Amino acid sequence: MAGGVGLKIGIVIRKEQNPKLREALEAIKLWGRGKSTQIIYGPESLLKKCDVLVAVGGDGTVLSASRIACGKEIPIAGINAGRVGFLAEYGIDEIPVVLNALSKGTFKIQDRIMLDCSLYLKNKKILSRTVLNEVFIHAHAPARMVNLEVKINDKFLTEYWADSLMLATPTGSTAYNLAAGGPIIYPAAEAFVLNPVNPMSLSVRPIIIPSSCACKIKCVQGSTAEMVFDGHFTEQLNDKSELLICRSRHITRFAHTDDSGFVQALREKLGWTGKMKSGPSRT
């Protein structure tokens, strides 16, 4: 993407104000002084018309930006003004470098797959969501387990009895999936993971599925569950409806100033130093 006069950079910010967020917004304001690049602050109708988006906050803010960009393929850069996150990869001190790259069009693009989630009732689609991170299915009632039947490409896989079940993209593999013992998937991989959280059967483990596959999920008769899409939208699943999950034709595009984003994040944010910590010698 070429930069230049008339380029529109949209700023997506988290709702909760904190000193880091105010510092980041001040740095963006300072960078924009005297430049021809337009800095746009919401609403969504204006942000959807921008050339690039800068999400300022945490990973949740980046997910909000991905919803805005969905179908438009607007590149997104994440600035971390909250907790440690994989998607909001740049620090506040890097804002001038990021904005310079965006304004000049010298950034690199990395495409991430998304998942289409369609809910059917009596073969009629009644709901459709597209997610970048994950679909999370948990019991409708507190302190209960889910009982779910899962098919892959219309072939019966198993019946899960677990605290919850999630399907995560490579992007979402470093979020709740990682905390729940699931595998990390490299961002460019054409796959997603099906991860039962605390299953009753010890033999049940997460499974990585090619993105070309379709996954169907329904509640076992008499049970209900709640579906959460990218931590934002919540809908009910029951034994009369069926959730179909497959790779979306839409993608999320991330803007990077170099090629080291994900590899560097693994080292720095997970503490992968490659060195054993020193300690007292054994005798």
Residues acting as catalytic residues: 59
Is-contact 129 63, C-beta < 8 A?
A: no
What span, in angstroms and rounded, lies between the C-alpha atoms of 75 and 129?
A: 20
Contact between 149 and 217 (Cβ < 8 Å): yes
Q: Where are the alpha helices (DSSP H) in the chain?
A: 19-32, 44-47, 59-69, 95-104, 176-179, 261-269
3 state SS of 269: helix
Report the SS3 class of residue 96.
helix
Radius of gyration, alpha carbons of the chain: 21
> Are the C-beta atoms of residues 87 and 62 closer than 8 Å to each other?
yes
Residue 45, burial from CB neighbour count under 10 angstroms (0-12, 13-18, 19+):
exposed
